Amino acid sequence: MSLFDIPLYLNGFFDFLDSPQWKAWPFNSGYGEHLFPAVARLLFVSLIIGAILLFLRLLFGPGGPLRDKELEEEARLETEQERAEVDELFAKGEISEMEYKIKMKALED
């Protein structure tokens, strides 16, 4: 295969995509249509990507069944360290009680 064959292959690929069985595919170009089909395709793709991201978040997110246990322990230790720092700042009087409550609420599990 040489570089001169690439346009020939691309032409054949685009001819395949222009066949009638691909006209209803939700990822076509959207030219010559009204606004609703293009928006519907965009929502369809967004829904699929959102479902994939949610699925991955549930599997690998905090407390997920496939999440590495070392990550959980590391996150717990980091949170404890941040809480100790906030306690120390409050004890020294560098932050007010309101700031202390806000920061501790942000560090809750």
Q: List, for residues 36-63, the tens digit of each pLDDT value.
A: 777 788 899 999 999 999 999 999 887 8
Q: Would you place residue 8 in the very low, low, confident or very high pLDDT band (cuts 50, 70, 90)?
A: confident
57: which residues sit within 8 A by CB, 6+ positions away?
64
58 and 77 share a domain?
Answer: no
Q: Please report the pLDDT score of residue 29 as a whole number.
A: 56
| Structural domain containing residue 60 | 34-66
Does residue 28 surpass a pLDDT of 60? no
pLDDT score, position 66 = 85
Question: Would residue 23 count as lying in a domain?
Answer: no
Buried b (16+ CB within 10 A) or exposed e, 30-39: eeeeeeeeee
Residue 75 shares a structural domain with residue 102: yes
Residue 100 maps to a domain = yes
Pick the more confident residue, 26 or 2: 2
Are residues 51 and 76 both part of a single domain? no
Residue 4 lies in a domain: no
Q: Is 45 helix (H, G, I), strand (E, B) or coil?
A: helix
Q: How many structural domains are present in the chain?
A: 2
Classify residue 94: in a domain, yes or no. yes
The pTM of this model reads: 0.46
What does pLDDT average to over the chain? Answer: 81
Residue 62: helix, strand or coil by DSSP? coil
Can you read off the two tokens belonging to residue 3?
């570089």
